[in-house]
Amino acid sequence: MRRMSEFLLGSVLLVLVGAIAQAGPQEVKLAPLAQVIKVGVGEVQPSDEVLVPLITWGGDIATILANGNALATKPESIFAKANLKVKLTRMDDFKKQVELFIQGKTPYLRGTMGMINMAADVLDKDPGTKPVVIYQMTWSAGGDCLVVKEGIRTVKDLKGKTVALQAYGPHVDYLGTILKDAGLSTKDVKILWTEDLTGTDKSPAEAFTRKEVDAAFVIIPDGLMLTSKGTTGTGAEGSVKGAKILMSTKTANRIIADVYAVRTDYLNAHRDRVRTFVHCLLRAEQELKQLFKDRKGRMDEFKDMITASAKILLDSEQATGDAEALYGDCEYVGFAGNVKFFGDPNWPRNMTNLTRSIQSTFVSLGLLPRSIQLSQAGWNYDRLREGLAGVADIEAPRFKAEEVAKVIEKKRAEGALGEGELFSFEILFQPNQNTFSADMYADEFERVVDLASTYGGAIIIVEGHSDPMGYLRKKKEGGQEVVLKRVKQAAKNLSLTRAAAVRDNVMEHSQSKGVSLDPTQFTVVGHGIMQPKSGMCGDDPCPPKTKEEWRSNMRVTFRIIQVEAEESVFKPLE
């Protein structure tokens, strides 16, 4: 269930700037937010009660819990015990949030990193309103997806295609990220901008039904409808024949980050109070996770929390199932995740790198005039650790290695390793090479680390290939069948050994950079001589005709594949 704030931001801005041209949604003009918001700058007025915005997203349930499951701070709540008095207000209209932020009516801004960056230009106009990102709440982990039609098997296949996308919505930087990782840019696709996110005839899901549209970024409920409940669209009950989900944020689980930011002048004047606010959110997050885990034994507490969240976020106390779905769509990052996001300079998905990626897309689309520095609070996390229970510094393995091996072996046997592929690339090695140092393959290894970090819900297959010339010479010399089989097996064993060596060297390289990768995300396959670039001639490899063809067979392929349909491979959340 995707958040409404981004939906309303798109709708309001499009109306204000007259963005929809008569010729159709392809001609929507994306105006920077600085051209839309014209309110004057005001100071944050002293008050015992601080206005804090919420948006309709599962991460905000922890903030509600911290306030005592109420809009106004209740006695004995986490905020109250920390001497904070907070007035929560749902503000899905992000433009309105930005206006109140500039006017000084709230010191806080609540949105995704994409939303905060979208407002960076207008907030950079005055030194007091410059946003400082203080806390990462969650990652989107399943609520958003890319649906494609027949013939699109990988992200590279989007080149030259028409993609439907909500203007000013939550998926703009999502598109930019996956195109970049596939070696493409926004200029390589034709974007059909829509006014709404969902629920109308001006949404990406509706646009996807048109013949000229090849792909669409949608929220999961729309994605399931278009693909006949996540399989392959049959053309019935609102689905599109042949449509499938190419990727969701269950796979691309490190793209959309939800955060809180604060005004620079307020942080300078009330740093201790803001730090206390962040500490309370961390405590509430822990309490919420524990409450979901212990819900059977704490049913009254759980009902109070989920009912209040449904009322505040969804306007109905009866919408508890939808509130739980909101929670399930997100992944709380906790203390360790905040340390990593703000304090780990080597992690590919830290705030600095994420901001650079987002702003690059926004500049290319005209949403920002230039790159703008976005600041963080620079907390002392040893102080924020106090009072938190069992802070974990190491992420748990995400996949069941034995189940992954079964899935990959089945795909290999069926010749379907390319099924579900998102990205792939190769590294070449020298004849008789058995070692693969980071000195030789630094760029390739860095790319693997970046992709593994961004697509934490995907499996990375490391496939080894061998040179077939030894086998072909033996056969030409009249070698016996038993000898030829032995040569084939030796080549397969060697290719597997090389693939494992490359994987191990990638892991060592990432460790040397201070980046921890999940070893269960990687699996190795040895193809031996049976997938030569020169092709197959019957049951045997075709002889290479050139030196380049010969060298191309000595390679290791990295293939990043989606396995969301294989629920058995994922470890259940604790």
Per-residue pLDDT of 411-470, as tens digits, reads 878 888 778 888 998 998 888 777 888 888 889 999 999 999 999 999 999 999 998 998
What is the Rg, in whole angstroms, of the alpha carbon atoms belonging to the chain?
26
Single-letter residue type at 485: K
Out of 248, 280, 295, a domain closes at 248
Instruction: Check whether 64 has a pLDDT greater than 90.
Output: yes
Q: Is 259 exposed, middle or buried (0-12, 13-18, 19+ CB in 10 A)?
A: buried
CA distances from 530 to 125, 272, 424, 463 (A): 61, 64, 19, 12
Residue 23 is assigned to a structural domain of this protein: no
Residue 224 shares a structural domain with residue 300: no
Asked if 450 contacts 554 with a C-beta cutoff of 8 angstroms, the reply is no
CA distances from 122 to 131, 173, 347, 477 (A): 10, 19, 29, 75
pLDDT of residue 28: 53
Single-letter residue type at 245: I
Residue 8 is assigned to a structural domain of this protein: no
Residue 56 shares a structural domain with residue 111: yes
CA distances from 326 to 157, 331, 351 (A): 32, 10, 24
Per-residue pLDDT of 130-177, as tens digits, reads 999 999 999 999 888 999 999 999 999 999 999 998 887 778 889 999
Stretch 217-231: mean pLDDT, rounded? 91
Residue 354 shares a structural domain with residue 406: no
**Residue found under tokens 């729309």:** 222
Residue 7 is assigned to a structural domain of this protein: no
pLDDT of residue 23: 35
Instruction: Check whether 13 has a pLDDT greater than 70.
Output: no
User: Smallest Cα–Cα separation from 12: which of 110, 91, 104, 89?
Assistant: 91
Instruction: Check whether 283 has a pLDDT greater than 80.
Output: yes
Instruction: Check whether 1 has a pLDDT greater than 80.
Output: no
Alpha carbons 264 and 99: distance in angstroms, whole number: 16
**Beta pairing class for 458-465 and 555-562:** antiparallel
Residue 181 is assigned to a structural domain of this protein: no
Residue 561 shares a structural domain with residue 427: yes
Residue 75 shares a structural domain with residue 109: yes
- Left, alpha or beta for 300 (phi > 0: left; psi -120 to 50: alpha)? alpha
pTM of the model: 0.84
Asked if 514 contacts 339 with a C-beta cutoff of 8 angstroms, the reply is no
Per-residue pLDDT of 316-360, as tens digits, reads 999 999 899 989 989 999 999 999 999 988 899 999 999 999 999
Per-residue pLDDT of 18-44, as tens digits, reads 333 333 444 456 677 788 888 999 999
Alpha carbons 301 and 294: distance in angstroms, whole number: 10
Cα dihedral 376, 382, 388, 393 sign? positive
Instruction: Check whether 7 has a pLDDT greater than 70.
Output: no
Instruction: Check whether 571 has a pLDDT greater than 80.
Output: no
CATH code of the domain containing 244:
3.40.190.10
**Residue found under tokens 């693909």:** 227
Q: Which residues contact 383 (CB under 8 A, 6 or more apart)?
A: 275
CATH code of the domain containing 451:
3.30.1330.60
Per-residue pLDDT of 462-472, as tens digits, reads 999 998 998 99
Residue 375 is assigned to a structural domain of this protein: yes
Asked if 106 contacts 234 with a C-beta cutoff of 8 angstroms, the reply is no
Residue 120 shares a structural domain with residue 155: no
pLDDT of residue 20: 36
Out of 231, 248, 265, a domain closes at 248
Alpha carbons 124 and 184: distance in angstroms, whole number: 30
Out of 248, 263, 279, a domain closes at 248
Q: How many helices (H) and strands (E) does the chain have?
A: 21, 18
| Mean of per-residue pLDDT scores for the chain | 88
Q: What share of the chain is helix, strand, coil (3-state, %, to 5)?
A: 45, 15, 40
Instruction: Check whether 116 has a pLDDT greater than 60.
Output: yes
Residue 405 shares a structural domain with residue 525: yes
Alpha carbons 563 and 560: distance in angstroms, whole number: 10
pLDDT of residue 143: 84
Stretch 564-574: mean pLDDT, rounded? 68
Asked if 188 contacts 214 with a C-beta cutoff of 8 angstroms, the reply is no
pLDDT of residue 303: 97
Residue 268 shares a structural domain with residue 121: yes
pLDDT classification of 496: cutoffs 50, 70, 90: very high
Six-digit token string for 565: 């349909």
Residue 260 shares a structural domain with residue 409: no
User: Smallest Cα–Cα separation from 560: which of 456, 466, 464, 465?
Assistant: 456
Residue 2 is assigned to a structural domain of this protein: no
Residue 297 shares a structural domain with residue 284: yes
User: Smallest Cα–Cα separation from 573: which of 407, 330, 385?
Assistant: 330
Residue 434 shares a structural domain with residue 536: yes
Q: What DSSP element (H or E) covers 522?
A: strand 522-528
Asked if 87 contacts 71 with a C-beta cutoff of 8 angstroms, the reply is yes
Rounded to 5 degrees, what angle do the CA atoms 103, 108, 109 make?
90
Residue 544 shares a structural domain with residue 405: yes
Structural domain including 170 reads 144-175+189-248
Residue 238 is assigned to a structural domain of this protein: yes
Stretch 218-224: mean pLDDT, rounded? 89
340, 343, 346, 347: CA torsion to nearest 10: 30
Stretch 244-253: mean pLDDT, rounded? 93
Percent of residues, the chain, with pLDDT higher than 90: 62
pLDDT of residue 29: 62
Residue 21 is assigned to a structural domain of this protein: no
Number of domains in the chain: 3
User: Smallest Cα–Cα separation from 210: which of 182, 240, 230, 180?
Assistant: 240
Asked if 534 contacts 554 with a C-beta cutoff of 8 angstroms, the reply is no
